[in-house]
Amino acid sequence: MTTRLPLDEQLAALQDALSRNETLLEVLNRTADLDLPGWYVTAGCLFQTVWNVVTGRPPAEGIKDYDVFYFDDRDLSWEAEDKVTGAAADVFAGLPAEVEVRNEARVHLWYEEKFGVPCAPYTSTEAAIDSFAATTCCLGVRLTPDGRWRVYAPHGLSDVFGLVVRPNPVLAPRTVYEAKTARWRRQWPELTVLEWPTA
């Protein structure tokens, strides 16, 4: 059972599972070509690929989009981010999926208007990943210049492989967690979704 493997073997199992999603591999390789500061491919495209592999589904089934986070606090203007997303649109052209590229240094500028709670400025891409609504989602992968995989998983990988969704009440409101988990349960009914803490 993957959830009980030593961490190095879980990392190997993660790379094996993610490598079955050809679109994800292409996103990783093309993002490396963009050379964005502090970048990771992150969020649903990763843990949902694992869920698909664990449950015997096609690796890319049900994945809405592919998220690329980077961190550049040298210019927080919308125009600077728009320039990057424009270049990314060219790089990702032809892929059978939407790729969303976001500068996490700018999130605090729009987060409260969208989600109703303030967000302190992030200090890194990792800090942004730390604030996902579920700890299971806190996962990022990027390629190093020599082609090795760098994995950021502050809460480990056992829940990802075990199909457990655990709330992470550090930023996102309960409504965001419950909306996401309701959608995921419809696609992956095998999930165990833990309740948002009431205290």
Domain ranges of the chain: 2-193
Give tens-digit pLDDT for 92-106: 999 999 999 999 999
Name the stretches of the chain with pLDDT < 50: none
pLDDT (tens digit per residue) in 125-164: 999 999 999 999 999 999 999 989 999 999 999 999 999 9
Give this prediction's pTM.
Answer: 0.94
Kind of pairing, strands 65-70 and 40-42?
A: antiparallel
The C-alpha atoms of residue 117 and residue 170 are separated, in whole angstroms, by 11
Predicted local confidence at residue 198, as pLDDT: 86
- Tell me how long the chain is: 199
